[in-house]
């Protein structure tokens, strides 16, 4: 999709440049024609920028996916059973998150 935006932007930019050069060569210079040519060039630049932004977002998503895969490989924290309520919780908790029982250090 990013290639589409960049390609369309390039087409608009080239067409806008061509029309601008044709307008400069013509004898009657009309402001409306100049404005439409300027708008076409601006639209071309905008589409190219959107395509580039889409490429950058894809690259960041790929990097995020790699870090998520690494997180999945991380070892889990050992679980202990609370002597008061019998529910499991992480070993590094100072108190049971379910009943508030304080574990001895």
Q: Which tens digits make up the pLDDT trace of 17-66?
A: 888 888 778 777 778 778 888 888 899 999 999 999 999 999 888 888 76
Q: Average pLDDT in the 59-74 region?
A: 72
CA atoms of 78 and 91, how far apart (whole Å): 6
Using CA of residue 59, residue 64, residue 67, residue 69, what is the dihedral sign?
negative
Instruction: Provide the percentage of residues in the chain whose pLDDT is more than 90.
Output: 36
Cα Rg, the chain, nearest whole Å: 31
Per DSSP, 73 falls in state T
Q: Tokens standing for 23? A: 């307008």
| Residue 102: strand pairing partners | 95
Q: What is the pTM of this model?
A: 0.55
Is the confidence at residue 105, as pLDDT, over 60? no
């Amino acid at each position: 999709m990013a290639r589409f935006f960049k390609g369309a932007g390039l087409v608009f930019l080239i067409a806008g440049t061509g029309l601008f050069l044709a307008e400069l060569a013509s004898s009657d210079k009309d402001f409306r024609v100049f404005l439409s040519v300027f708008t076409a060039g601006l639209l071309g630049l905008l589409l190219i920028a959107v395509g580039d932004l889409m490429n950058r977002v894809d690259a960041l998503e790929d990097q995020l996916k790699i870090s998520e895969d690494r997180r999945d490989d991380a070892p889990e924290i050992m679980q202990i059973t609370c002597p008061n309520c019998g529910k499991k919780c992480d070993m590094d908790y100072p108190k049971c998150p379910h009943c508030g029982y304080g574990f001895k250090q």
